[in-house]
Copies of this chain bind each other. A is one copy, B any other.
Amino acid sequence: MENAAINLDARARTLLRTLIESYIRDGQPVGSRTLARTSGLKVSAATVRNVMADLEDLGLIQAPHTSAGRIPTASGYRLFVDSLLEVREPTAEEIRAIQSGFDPNATTQDLMGATSNLLSQVTRMAGMVRLPRHRNVALSQLEFLRLGERRVLAILVIDGKEVQNRVLELERDFDQDQLQRMANYLNAHLAGKSLHAVRDALLREMRDVRENLDAMMLAAIDLGEKAVAGEDPDDVVVAGQTHLLSYEELADIDRLRQLLEAFNEKREILGILDQCIRSDRVQIFIGRESGLDWFENCSVVTAPYSVDGEVVGVLGVIGPTRMSYDRVIPIVDVTARLLGSALGDPAQDTK
């Protein structure tokens, strides 16, 4: 998509813009006469036809058949969202409505679910939220529980409220008392540090101070390393998939099935979201741009959210390419910001 199309004169741009706006509103191909009237320009339908022919040559619009009006192509939408679109900032009202959906006392999981629901309800499309990376949050506590022979349950309390369980399979057996002492040792050394720092510390100690410690403490370090080694649960929360059934441009049953299956599998959704995590602004995929062909007629609007200035996740919506970008974009944008600050609020013990 090299977009040599940038050098369109003002009139062509206006026409393209009104055409796409009209198509997004009504879902009908737009003809030259209507376009001439609604564009506000003082030109005749014939002139508009000439311009439209040019736009078609540039691949920005196309005619479904000889004598229908024109509809935007993927490139047309691209140009539209990149340089023609004027987003309608959400009113303070709307922001408050969204904000009231966040319960700062909820666990991260619940917060993600609520956000995802919120996105899908407000936009009437499918909402999705990538779980935040936890690498930089504080480890509050670490505990071991003996489940059976050589099987230990590691419990990580993160950030004072999040709890993660991990079952570890070990080479040798420890009794509960040994495990307890190991946990005490690790907690004394590590509590309060970020997971990232914890991991570094453990790896360093394993290398450096091997010989200076008794066997028990060595084992403790080993165990601790195992406990924090796993990645965060790699997951994404989606909601409102069923909204997509209502759009007739997605009426093809087979594609619809693929789409819904993608939501169940989550793998491809994850792939798409992860592509966006680097950007620091709202990002938009139109149609096949994401590389999946079952994405025909679908667009994705995403925005990363950050805590303390660091991007920790992405959220967004999926809907038909023919969506109201001017409404959806600011919603996604605001939601990302609000989620970020909801996560960033200092953990409260009140209540």
A binding-site residues for B, Cβ under 8 Å: 140-141, 143, 145, 147-151, 153, 155, 157, 160-161, 163, 165, 167, 169, 239, 241-242, 245-246, 251, 253, 256-257, 260-261, 264, 347, 349, 351
Contact = CB atoms under 8 A, between A and B. Distances in A.
A167 B162 CA distance: 10
A175 to B, nearest CB: 13
Given A155-B155, A157-B147, A246 B242 contact: no
Contacts of A150: 349
B157 A145 contact: yes
Given A153-B163, A165-B165, A148 B257 contact: no
10 closest cross-chain pairs (CB), A and B? A148-B349, A245-B257, A242-B260, A242-B257, A242-B261, A149-B349, A163-B165, A245-B253, A148-B160, A143-B145
B145 A153 contact: no
Nearest to A253: B245
Contacts of A160: 147-148
A58 to B, nearest CB: 36
**Copies of the protein in its oligomer:** 2
B157 A349 contact: no
A349 B163 contact: no
Give the dominant DSSP class at A's interface: mixed
Contact of A256 (B147, B239, B245, B261): B245
Contacts of A349: 148-151
A82 B169 CA distance: 50
Nearest to A184: B176
Nearest to A166: B163
A153 B242 CA distance: 36
7 contacts: A140-B147, A148-B160, A153-B155, A153-B157, A163-B165, A239-B264, A246-B253
Nearest to A141: B145
A228 to B, nearest CB: 17
A158 to B, nearest CB: 11
A264 B241 CA distance: 9
Given A147-B161, A151-B349, A264 B246 contact: no
Nearest to A149: B349
Q: Interface centre among A149, A163, A251, by most B CB within 10 Å? A: A163
A169 B350 CA distance: 11
Nearest to A259: B242
A149 B349 CA distance: 7
Contacts of A242: 257, 260-261, 264
A251 to B, nearest CB: 8
Contacts of A141: 145, 147
Given A147-B157, A245-B253, 13 more contacts: A140-B147, A141-B147, A145-B155, A145-B157, A148-B161, A153-B157, A153-B163, A155-B155, A165-B165, A241-B264, A242-B257, A245-B260, A246-B253
Nearest to A160: B148
A103 B160 CA distance: 35
Contacts of A151: 349
